[in-house]
Every structure is written in C-alpha cells, then in structure tokens.
Amino acid sequence: MKDEIAFLAELEKKVLWLSSWMIHHANHIRPGDDSLKVGGHQASSASLSTIMTALYFSVLKPEDRVAVKPHASPVFHAIQYLLGNQTREKLENFRGFGGAQSYPSRTKDTDDVDFSTGSVGLGAAQTLFASLVQDYLGAKDLLRQTEEGRMVALLGDAEMDEGNIFEALLEGWKHGLRNTWWVVDYNRQSLDAVVREGLWQRFEAIFKNFGWDVVVLKHGSLQQSAFAEPGGQALKEWIDRCPNQLYSALTFQGGAAWRKRLLDDLGDQGEVSALIERRSDADLEALMTNLAGHDLPVLMEAFRAAASHERPVCFIAYTIKGYGLPLAGHKDNHAGLMTSTQIAALRSKMGVREGYEWEPFEGLAEARELEAFLGRVPFRQKGRRRLSGTQIEIPERIEVQIASSMSTQQGFGLLMHEIAKRDSEFAARVVTTSPDVTVSTNLGAWVNRRGVFARNELADLFRKERIPSTFAWDASPRGQHLELGIAEMNLFLMLSGLGLSHSLFGERLLPVGTLYDPFIERGLDALNYACYQDARFIVAATPSGVTLAPEGGAHQSIATPLIGMAQDGLASFEPGFVDELAIILRFAFDYIQRDDDRATGPSDWLRDARGGSVYLRLSTRTIEQPNRKIDDGLAADIVRGGYWLRRPGPNAELVVAYTGVLAPEALEAVGMMAEDRRDIGLLAITSADRLNAGWNAAQAAQERGTADAVSHIEELLSAVPAGCGLITAVDGHPATLAWIGAVFGHRTRSLGVEHFGQTGTIPELYRHHGIDAQGIMKAARALVPGRPIRHLRSFA
Ligand SMILES: Cc1ncc(C[n+]2csc(CCOP(=O)(O)OP(=O)(O)O)c2C)c(N)n1
Ligand SMILES: [Mg+2]
C-alpha cells in the first residue's frame, strides 16, 4: 500500500486542478452574467493548496476549527468536495447565486465552514478568540468534546498588515492563549506588490514577543537534499540572499531563466556550477520552487512536531503565489486568470479527459485506494461538525426597583446585578466582556458578584490588603466576566467567539458586551463580521449621542442609530426609560437564542423566529421615570419598536415622535403645545430599526399579494389624520426617524444631530442642535402654522 505522502501528493494535484477548473468554469464556461467573470483568486488559492491538503486530509481532527484565507476559497471548496461535503452543482456555480461562495461563509456556504472570512485579518483573529472561548467553557466543565480542538488560521502574508491582528495577539498573550495555530502563507506577494525583504524576521520577533512558538518553513526536501550535495551551501546562500522580487520573477519565467541567472551569479564556481548543470531545466525549476510550503514531507513533519506544543504556534511557510500554474510568481497575478489554452494544458498534465473535469478520481491510477484513504481521513470521522446548544430558559420578566429618576445605563447595571443574584442556569450562562470600560458602563455590580474569568486564580490585591474599593475583582476559572484591553475590534471578535459557542462547541453562552457608543465605529468591521457569521450576543453601548455632553465632543456619536438600523443581523433598540429597557433586555436574551427559519405567523415581518444579535443604545443622562405597570400589550409594543405615550385625538394637528433620551424634551414640548395644537400625540419609539424593518417587510409582502400585511408603524399611525404634521426627534442623525413621514405621507420635520464636537451642558447642546423642547416647538410652529404657541419663546 502507498504511504500517506503519496496519497496526499495525488490529492494535492486534484485540489489544484479542481480549484483551477472551478474558477475557469465560472469565468469562461458557465453561461450567464458577465458580472461574475472576475478574477478568481487562482494564484492565491494555489499558494495554499499544499498546506491545506496536508491539513484537511491528514493533520486536522474533527474538533479543530479553521479560518481559511478568504481568497483560498476555491481550494477549500475543492477539498470539501473531495471529502463529500460539497456538491458538484455548488462548485459549477462558484461565485454564482446560491453557489459556493467567493469567500468561505458560515452562513451562505453549506460545506462545513468554521469561520467566515473575507475582510482580511478578522478570520485569523477570530481563531484566537474562539480558543479563549474554548478555555472558558473548559474551565466551567462545559466542554463536551472529548478532546480540545485546535483553532487554526491560514493567513496571507499581507494580511499581517491589518492592525487588528496585533491587537488580538496582545489580548491572547494576556489570557494565556493555547491551542492555536496560525499558518502564514509567505508567498511574499500582496494584491498590488511584492512584500518588503526580511518581513518574516519582523513576524518572527513579534510572535515570539507575544509568547508564541515560531516555526519558519523555508526549504522543501528537494532543496534540503541539494544543499547536502557538494556546492549545495553556495546554492543555499544564493537563495537566502535572493530578493523577493527577483525570486518571484524567475519563478514566473521558469527553468531556463533560473539556469541563466544562477549561472550568471554562480557559474565557474566548481561544485555549485556542477550542481546546477547536472539538472535539466525542468528539474531546476522543480528544485528552485521547492519551498517548504509546497513540500508535503516537510509540512507533515512540522505539523506533527508542533502537535505537542502547549503554546500557540505560528508557522511562516514559504510558498509561491500561483504554484503549479503558469501564473506562478508574477507580481500581477492576484486577479490573474488562466487562458483556455493554459487550462487545457493543465488538464492534460493532470491526466483529466475533456468532459470529465469534475470527476473526483479522474486521471488517478489507483482511484479505489485513494477513495479508501479519503474514507479514513481523521477530520471527517465524527460526522457533522456544526453543533447546536440547547436553549436556555429566560425568566418571564427581569424586574428591578426603579428609582424616580435614573438613566438607562444605571438601569442596565441594576438589571445585570439582578441577574447576577440569581442562582439559575440562565445566570450561569451569561458572560460579559468589555474593553476596559466595565466600570464606566455600569457592569461593576455584576462583576462584583460573578467575578472576573481567568484560567488561574488571581486575587484582587486591593481587597487582600484591605484597601477599600467599590470593586472586588478576584479572577478565577469560575468568573463570568472577560476583561479586555481597550480595543473595540477585540470586543466584537470576543463577542463573536462567545456568540458562536453553541455552534462551535455545542454549549450556549449568553454574551453581553459593553462599550462607549461612539467606539462602535472603531470596531465596526468586526461587528459586521460577527453578524455575518451569525454570532449571537447583546451589546450595550453607553454613553451615547451628544447627551454624553461633559464627556467631551470627541466622544459624541451621531451615526450609530443608522448603523443599528442598517446592520444586518442586529436588532437595535434605544429605550427612553428603564422599565422599557427591562422588557427589551429580557427579550434580547431570548432573541439571541432563536434559530428558526420559519416565520411564526403571517405578521412575522421582523423575522423574529430567526433571531439575531441585539444592540442597546443607552445613556448616562438621569431622567424622570414613569410610574406605571407595563402590561403584556405594552411590553409587546415596546419590543415591536414603539407605542403611544399620548394617543392623538381624531383632529390631531401634530404628532411628536421621539426616541431614547429625548423623552423629557418631547414630553415637555407636547405638554406646552397641548393647548395650542389640537389633539396632539406623543409617540415613544423604542426601536427605529424594528419599526423600519417591519414596514419594509410588510410593504414587500403587500406587493407579493398578502393584502392584509400591516406593520407596527402602520398600525400606530393609522389613527393619525392625513393633514397632521409629524416631528421626529433623536439624539443622533435625523434620518433615523425621518422615514416615518413616508409611511402615510405625513408632512414631517426631523430633528437630530448632524454636527459634532462641541462640549457643553446637556441643555446647551440640545439648544445648539435644536433638539430641546423649544426646538421641537419651533419646528411645530413652522410645520403646522396656526395659533401662536404660547410657551414658545420667540427666538430662543
Ligand atoms: C480588510 C480588507 N481589505 C482589503 C481586501 C482586499 N484584498 C483581498 S486579498 C488582498 C491582498 C492579500 O495579500 P495576501 O494576504 O498576501 O494574500 P495572497 O493572495 O498573497 O495569498 C487584498 C488587499 C480585503 N479582502 N480585506
Ligand atoms: Mg501574499
């Protein structure tokens, strides 16, 4: 029987062929849309074909989880095809609608993608945070799988330019990262260019600094044995000295060019010249392109040796972009495609007959044996790797004592503290995390009760020394708060890891992250990435808007309500009062666990059965709280996105709709205008996002023929007379609520904040931006002319 390396070598060729064919098919053969005919990442894929062959067909265990370099997607899909996890139809439709995705996608692909990738840097960092999640579960005896998995990232060398990689490395070091492998595809090419000389040494130093073991894989076994020949050392020195650009150029040009250049540099030098002369052009090319990243024996040995490493391992593997293809080494090859002639040549080199291109075993001498080998591949031995955790029961209500005046941020702290006091499965599954703003976002009381997580016990020294402090931060494996450094990218990657726990590790966690609202933008791509992966978490962002007034102009957030609306997979809420927040938070813990693709009823415009993540935009502003009991009807409306605080009468001339922290201004303005504007209404909006999504979906349903499709905002506004004016107000961009005027065509004026940066008191800033009660009244006077508004100071 053949040895493993021989099988892997055949598979490597097959993978290279199938990925090339898939791309060629998408671009030249599949009928249809020209827009799909774009660079297929052929060269980037080939660069990783050997490494991925070794990993997937031999090294990886079922428990391992992998983030594949986005532009190696064709190789990934080809491998899954050979493992029986991917269909031919999907490959034939690569990059097409419903076909195998351009970048591996957890949510859109069906072939066992562990981590989505696409935005470079994020997939790699995600493996690191997933490993921390595995440690968290392990410490709590929640790890069901018998063996710990290894979190593996395959990343491009230019991907290392992304700053979030380094933020993640630092965080990993703090938490004693383990079980993580990063394999850097060191092809010394990016999209535009050839990378700087000696980059690997910077990488090596950085990784070592952060506590990683570094394995540099440079020379393949052919090269290694050539170096042992007489004159071999001179050849090795030449290779080690050769600039990246030149190496790439010679790789592209092939054997004759190698010979010429080598002989120019090393000719007439006795042994080394003889070493070169002994080889044909083809052999010389094979030798010079035999870098370790394309050498199965060297790779297998390196992976085997690293299996016992306790510390995380970074492999820097020298590769060739476009390896085995006519594109190899050319600096412009990133989007390069092979011509039909080149593909035909590759086909015959691979022994594939025309018309049999998709056949997995076409052209292989011992197909049966290979099939049997594929059946034994360790990675596939435990079947389906996508897991699902059971749902955690959430109490009907989470109730706290609400003071007559308080802020939603305080309310959030109280609610979390209330959960912390419970001895329940629910409380045990909640895990919090924050990028150095745990205390200032009011998670302190929660952490005091539930503790900080660390694999090893670490006492709070202040407490030990009996120095009074509000916070007792003992760290232990029992802790339920993951403290992060100030890096919002890391926060969202951590939430993403925690929020995939059920799917990756089969145990559900209920993650809650906190940060300052403006810094959502700092971590936005990671938030988007987390949502794209369908990770489930709650993020509480506070303080927010210009209302954080004294905090400073630089911290004001304007765009975040629009982000909350526009971000797919994220339901956003901005409650005004703490009793609303209590309802919403309870809903959120339930919502993040939902996973049903069926609509629950004809009016499920919000796709609530599917669930998603939740964003709570909160505030530090203390405002008067209503003294009321929230019945089930009101609770449902709060969750749907809005309710009437004051229902407009049949002759209403004006409605004020506000969101969040502007409740007092809206209430005050409405109170003062009540005598002068008939039947005035006051609409509290708890979620512009859900109102808007519901409206869009109901319209689409109506257009498809569901005549009785009505959204919540339509229901709310149905009682508002046609001639009534509508004023909306939000501490954020006015567009957040402006669309409400389009629901029934009410004349609308939308107040909000468009410019930021000015500090001041809340009244000063509200006046400045025209979102105080006077501003609302001024807008009312202009929008609905009529009787003078008595309480309006003329030109206040
Ligand atoms: C955040 C982000 N910015 C830009 C891109 C576009 N892009 C895709 S691949 C690439 C260069 C990748 O070079 P490298 O990581 O060395 O991969 P290689 O193709 O050489 O394997 C760029 C800039 C991206 N995918 N993500
Ligand atoms: Mg590269």
**pLDDT value at 35 more than 80:** no
Q: How far is the CA of 44 from the centre of ligand 2 (A)?
A: 7
Q: Give the angle 108-113-115 at the CA atoms, nearest 5°.
A: 95
* Lowest mean pLDDT segment, chosen from 122-131, 457-466, 761-770: 457-466
Beta bridge partners of 475: 452, 458
Which atom of ligand 1 approaches the CA of 195 most closely? 16
Q: Which whole number is the average pLDDT over 592-597?
A: 91
**Could you tell me the two tokens for 503?**
């799917």
The neighbour count for residue 445, using CB atoms within 10 Å, is 18
Q: How far is the CA of 511 from the centre of ligand 1 (A)?
A: 31
Q: How far is the CA of 764 from the centre of ligand 2 (A)?
A: 53
Q: What is the mean pLDDT of the chain?
A: 94
Do 615 and 571 contact (CB within 8 A), yes or no?
yes
Q: How far is the CA of 161 from the centre of ligand 1 (A)?
A: 10
Strand-strand pairing, 151-156 and 475-476: unpaired
Report CA Rg, the chain: 31
Among the bound ligands, the one closest to the CA of 525: 1
Do 505 and 521 contact (CB within 8 A), yes or no?
no
Which atom of ligand 1 approaches the CA of 187 most closely? 20
Query: How does residue 237 score in pLDDT terms, banded at 50, 70 and 90?
Result: very high
pLDDT at 254: 95
- Give Cα 320 distance to the centre of its chain: 29
pLDDT at 522: 98
Query: How does residue 603 score in pLDDT terms, banded at 50, 70 and 90?
Result: low
Which atom of ligand 1 approaches the CA of 70 most closely? 25
Instruction: Return d(Cα 566, Cα 521) in angstroms, integer.
Output: 13
**pLDDT value at 412 more than 80:** yes
Q: How far is CA 25 from CA 31, 337, 340, 343, 427, in A?
A: 9, 11, 10, 10, 52
Q: How far is the CA of 263 from the centre of ligand 2 (A)?
A: 29
Which atom of ligand 1 approaches the CA of 162 most closely? 1
Which atom of ligand 1 approaches the CA of 160 most closely? 15
pLDDT at 473: 85
Cut 0.85: pTM above it: yes
Query: How does residue 192 score in pLDDT terms, banded at 50, 70 and 90?
Result: confident
Among the bound ligands, the one closest to the CA of 71: 1
pLDDT at 198: 87
Q: How far is the CA of 180 from the centre of ligand 2 (A)?
A: 21
pLDDT in tens, 142-175: 998 778 999 999 999 999 999 999 999 999 999 9
Best CA proximity match to 512, nearest among 423, 576, 578, 450: 450
Contacts of 10 (CB under 8 A, 6+ apart): 364, 370
Q: Which whole number is the average pLDDT over 682-707?
A: 94
pLDDT at 678: 85
User: Within 13 Å, how many C-alpha atoms sit on residue 654's CB side?
Assistant: 29
Instruction: Return d(Cα 197, Cα 648) in angstroms, integer.
Output: 71
**pLDDT value at 597 more than 80:** no
**pLDDT value at 39 more than 80:** no
Contacts of 534 (CB under 8 A, 6+ apart): 106, 107, 500, 503, 569, 612
pLDDT in tens, 285-301: 999 999 999 999 999 99
* Lowest mean pLDDT segment, chosen from 33-37, 490-494, 518-522, 704-708: 33-37
Which atom of ligand 1 approaches the CA of 48 most closely? 21
Among the bound ligands, the one closest to the CA of 159: 1
Among the bound ligands, the one closest to the CA of 45: 1
Beta bridge partners of 615: 539, 572
Best CA proximity match to 693, nearest among 636, 739, 624: 739
Q: Which whole number is the average pLDDT over 380-404?
A: 94
Backbone angles phi, psi at 298, to 5 degrees: -65, -45
Contacts of 229 (CB under 8 A, 6+ apart): 271, 275
Output the residue whose Cα is nearest ligand 1's atom 26.
Answer: 119
Backbone angles phi, psi at 556, to 5 degrees: -75, 140
Q: How far is the CA of 154 from the centre of ligand 2 (A)?
A: 11
Do 248 and 261 contact (CB within 8 A), yes or no?
no
Indicate the helix (H) or strand (E) that contains 463. helix 461-464
pLDDT in tens, 297-349: 999 999 999 999 989 999 999 999 999 999 999 988 888 899 999 999 999 99
pLDDT at 730: 98
Query: How does residue 794 score in pLDDT terms, banded at 50, 70 and 90?
Result: low
Mutational test site, ligand 1, from 68, 102, 120, 154, max ligand atoms within 8 Å of CB: 120
Q: How far is the CA of 694 from the centre of ligand 2 (A)?
A: 44
Instruction: Return d(Cα 137, Cα 135) in angstroms, integer.
Output: 5
**pLDDT value at 711 more than 80:** yes
Which atom of ligand 1 approaches the CA of 43 most closely? 19
Q: How far is the CA of 155 from the centre of ligand 2 (A)?
A: 9
pLDDT in tens, 81-100: 999 999 999 999 999 999 99
Which atom of ligand 1 approaches the CA of 191 most closely? 11
**DSSP code, position 313:** E
Q: Which whole number is the average pLDDT over 664-672?
A: 97
Give DSSP secondary structure letters for 678-719.
Answer: TT-EEEEES-HHHHHHHHHHHHHHHHTT-TT---HHHHHHTT
Using a CB cutoff of 5 Å, list residues around ligand 2, an ion.
156-158, 187, 189
pLDDT at 34: 61
Best CA proximity match to 506, nearest among 57, 138, 85: 138
* Lowest mean pLDDT segment, chosen from 213-222, 454-463, 649-658: 454-463
Mutational test site, ligand 1, from 49, 71, 165, max ligand atoms within 8 Å of CB: 71
Cβ < 6 Å from ligand 1: which residues? 44, 47, 69-71, 119-120, 156-159, 185, 187, 189-191, 321, 334
Which atom of ligand 1 approaches the CA of 159 most closely? 15
Instruction: Return d(Cα 150, Cα 389) in angstroms, integer.
Output: 20
Q: How far is the CA of 319 from the centre of ligand 2 (A)?
A: 9
pLDDT in tens, 726-752: 999 999 999 999 999 999 999 999 999
Q: How far is the CA of 159 from the centre of ligand 1 (A)?
A: 6
pLDDT at 98: 94
Q: How far is the CA of 191 from the centre of ligand 1 (A)?
A: 6
Mutational test site, ligand 1, from 23, 154, 191, 323, max ligand atoms within 8 Å of CB: 191
Q: Which whole number is the average pLDDT over 247-256?
A: 95
Output the residue whose Cα is nearest ligand 1's atom 7.
Answer: 191
**pLDDT value at 756 more than 60:** yes
Give DSSP secondary structure letters for 735-763.
Answer: HHHHTTHHHHT--EEEE----------HH
Across 621-695, the runs of DSSP E, i.e. the strands, are 623-624, 642-646, 654-659, 681-685
**Could you tell me the two tokens for 469?**
């402090």
C-alpha distance across the termini of the chain, in Å: 91
Give the residue with greater pLDDT, 792 vs 78: 78
